[in-house]
Amino acid sequence: MRLGYPVAKTVLSKLFQKREKTAPVRLPLPDSIEVIRQKARLGYHLEQVLWGKTLLDSIYMPSDPQQAIIWFTMAAKAGYGPAHNMLGRCAHFGWGCDKNLQKAAQHYEMAATLGDEWGRYNLGILTMRGIGMPQNLEQALTLFQTAAQNGHAKSMNILARFLEEGWEIPQDRQAALGWYKRSAEGGDYRGQHNYATALAEAGHTEEALKWWGQALPNATSDILLAMNKSLTKLGPDAAPDLYAALQERLKTLPLQTTETDPET
């Protein structure tokens, strides 16, 4: 979905000119990123979001979250769900604006309504934890179930946790294992760690080590600490290369125990 080129050119050209006169000096952009920038200027909503993400965090230019919000807002006003999710992230973490959890929840809800599974997942996190709204595990479960069934790997992992613990749903550890496996196969490092943990507990050590190896490159500190505990229990000799790589990662990352993944 995108704006037509004539509309984009007439409505946005002055805004682009004014913005780019004051934009920070940047290195020459790689062709792939320059294509995104040009398509964003023409009104393509996906590229507007991608360009906004580039402005949030890029090695090619100084971070400019306020400008990123402008691009997210353009796409959001056209009813593009991922743009609402990104506006929610900005309000959630105070990127380019004051932190406002209620506003974050509103944008996540709009993203979910428009069919964006990241927005549904992020709304589920706030609802599950009672952040910016009253805690409601039943509603959170519904959000994660829908996102998981639609193929969202991180939601699969949390749905598995609900099933494993029996939160707002009958406990079913076999079903939980299935969702952990699907999450792991979908590339979520938390799902990979949880699936590996379950496999190790069932005595399938070699397969567990494979999934811990998959989780290692992207895992945040809380997962790394949990992996370290599990691998230490198995003994460093069980997977010396994996254990050594884990120790190197633990030396470089700040400790954190909450889910603040930069994923969107």
Q: Which long-range contacts (CB under 8 A, 24 or more apart) does 22-26 make?
A: 23/64, 23/67, 24/61, 24/62, 24/64, 25/61, 26/60, 26/61, 26/62
Helix count (H) and strand count (E) of the chain?
Answer: 14, 0
Report the distance separating Cα 36 and Cα 258, nearest Å: 32
SS3 annotation, 187-249: CCHHHHHHHHHHHHHCCCHHHHHHHHHHHCCCCCHHHHHHHHHHHHHHCHHHCHHHHHHHHHH
Contacts of 131 (CB under 8 A, 6+ apart): 101, 125
Alpha-carbon distance values, 97 to 145, 248, 263 (Å) = 31, 35, 19
Report the distance separating Cα 263 and Cα 73, nearest Å: 19
| Amino acid at site 129 | R
Report the distance separating Cα 233 and Cα 3, nearest Å: 56
pLDDT at 5: 34
Residues 195, 187: contact at Cβ < 8 Å? no
Report the distance separating Cα 228 and Cα 205, nearest Å: 15
Kindly report the average pLDDT of the chain as a whole number.
89
Q: Give the helix/strand (H/E) hosting 122.
A: helix 117-129
Phi-psi region of 82 (alpha: psi -120 to 50; beta: other; left: phi over 0): alpha
pLDDT at 205: 96
Report the distance separating Cα 86 and Cα 2, nearest Å: 17
For the chain, list residues with pLDDT below 70: 1-27, 255-264
195 bridge partner residues: none
pLDDT at 1: 34
2 bridge partner residues: 44
- Residue 241: count of CB within 10 angstroms of its CB: 9
pLDDT at 18: 45
pLDDT at 252: 87
Residues 218, 189: contact at Cβ < 8 Å? yes
